[in-house]
Copies of this chain bind each other. A is one copy, B any other.
Amino acid sequence: MTGQRFDFSKLIAERVPPGAAGRAAARARYDFGTGFPDPDSFPWQGLHEALGRALKDKGRDLVRYPDPQGHPELREFIADKLKRERGMTVHQDQVLVTGGSGPAIALFVQLLANPGDVLLTEEYTYVGTLGIMRNLKARIVGVATDQEGMRPDALEQVIRDLARFEVKPKMVYTIPSFQNPLGTDMGMQRRKDILAVAQKYSIPIYEDDAYEDLRFEGARSPAIGSYDDSGMVLYSGTFSKILGPAMRVGFLTAPEELLPRINAMHWGRPTSEFATLASLYYLRDHLDDHVDEINGILRTRRDAMIGAIGEYMGSVATVSHPDGGLYLWLGLPEGSSTVAASEKARARGVAYLPGPSFSPSGGGGNYLRLCFGYERPNAIREGIATLAEVFAQQGMLNTKR
């Protein structure tokens, strides 16, 4: 008994990032902040029933350590789904089942990025990916986008600009379908063009395909990975958007020679087979019906939110019109500060994420992301009306500034 408090501060390893919050933010009255799907169509009864069947078949197996890469039947289901829906030819041994797509992102970034390495992303991209890249001390450079997402000419320009400083990026990270936060969707040619640039400069692509299931309009384009015969595309997907993020069931695929190294970093193999078996048995029977159901709901909510923005914010605000996904990208007049306004909005019960959260360089101060997935249409209208009041009070809805 020393009575003295032990001091860990000098013992922390160099690899350890400075720290992350351990608390979830309190739920806002109008929650447009995080990418949650609709709680009313969450299929908990279907999942419970599916789990019951899975446990009757395989309950005894759960006392054993699960297959390190995930249950073979789920990996086969995923490989079939990728073949059918994404045009990709992937063997089940190239699939690793992960606890959502967050761990997949962390594994791919850890696989390639030494501290100081440069990684390319869209000019606005997923907050979680930026956090992982920053925590691993990578440098992130954004690439300009248009209505189809990352621009191939801009990608090539960035690569050439960096080459003048003898810097070669380690990875092109892209979300081609219903990009988070922009909502852009790459057509076939765009996907081929991005791949061609990456191949020309021998920089691997990481294709984050978290949102493709949530397509409620427009034709599906095959994955970038479907055009790659060289084995340079890393890929991940998730069931979080259709079965809920708390399930923690996602997956990655990679060239088979990389799996041993990825497995070695998949410390302790945290993916629950209880959750993966429930997901497998549920999705085998209900994938298409369930996806149709939630996409109908999401489409209605997208339209409700776009309509309310038009009604309450007028022509001053610009807003995306995505064919799928969960998000709208809202632009306000130059000089607006969506960061400053977010606290005021939160005080009025409305949560959103300001643009700079998504920017490698902290830009986009007059933009914000709104998730239309979680709230019902009435609440969406109320929340947007409140938000418009906050923005008006901040002088952000004036045409002249």
Provide the A131-168 mask, 1 if CB < 8 A to any CB of B, else 0: 01001000000000000000000000000000000000
Q: Which of A36-44, A183-191, A313-321, A349-357 forms part of the interface with chain B?
A: A36-44
Residue in chain B with minimal CB distance to A279: B274
B47, B104, B248: the one within 8 Å of A271 (CB): B248
Stretch at the interface among A56-64, A212-220, A340-348, A384-392: A56-64
**Residues of A within 8 Å of B, CB-based: how many?**
104
- A 287-315 to B, binary, CB cutoff 8 A, 1 in contact else 0: 00000000000000000000000000000
Determine if A339 is an interface residue (Cβ-Cβ < 8 Å). Answer: no
B42 touches A63 (CB 8 A): yes
Closest chain B residue, CB of each to CB of A59: B44
Q: Report the minimal beta-carbon distance from A75 to chain B, rounded to whole angstroms.
A: 10
**B268 near A106 (CB under 8 angstroms)?**
yes
Check A96/B22 contact, CB under 8 A, given A103-B268, A106-B267, A246-B62. Answer: yes
CB distance from A127 to the nearest CB of B (A): 12
A202 close to chain B: CB less than 8 A: yes
- Residues of B within 8 Å of A47, CB to CB, are 55, 274
Contact with A111, one of B4, B13, B27, B278 (Cβ below 8 angstroms): B13
Known pairs A23-B69, A62-B247; list 11 more (Cβ under 8 Å). A8-B255, A13-B114, A15-B15, A16-B265, A17-B261, A17-B265, A24-B65, A42-B63, A47-B274, A48-B51, A63-B374
Seen from chain A, the residues whose Cβ lies within 8 Å of a Cβ on chain B are: 1-6, 8, 11-24, 27, 34, 36-40, 42, 44-45, 47-48, 51-52, 55, 59-69, 93, 96, 98-107, 110-114, 117, 128, 132, 135, 170, 199, 202, 204, 227, 229-232, 244-249, 255, 257-261, 263-275, 278, 374
